[in-house]
Amino acid sequence: MRPWQFIVIRDEKTLGSLRDLIKSGRFPAPLAIAVCGAPRATMPDPAHWLQDCSAAVENMLIAASGLGLGAVWIGVYPMEGLVAEVRRLLAIPAPVTPMALVYVGYPPVHYRSRARCRYEDEKVSYERWQKGRRNWRKDWEKSQRANSAPASAIPVSP
- Tens of pLDDT, residue by residue over 86-117, are 999 999 998 899 999 999 999 877 665 556 67
Separation of alpha carbons 33 and 36, rounded Å: 9
**Is residue 16 classed exposed, middle or buried when 0-12, 13-18 and 19+ CB atoms within 10 A define those classes?**
exposed
Is the pLDDT reported for residue 142 higher than 60?
A: yes
pLDDT of residue 48: 86
Could you give phi then psi for residue 11, rounded to 5 degrees? Answer: -65, 125
Q: Where are the domains of the chain?
A: 4-112, 121-153
Tell me how far apart the alpha carbons of residues 125 and 29 are, in angstroms, rounded to a whole number: 38
Q: Binning pLDDT at 50, 70 and 90, where does residue 139 land?
A: low
Q: In this prediction, what percent of the chain has a pLDDT beyond 90?
A: 49
pLDDT top residue among 154 and 7: 7
What class, spelled out in words, does domain 4-112 have in CATH? alpha beta
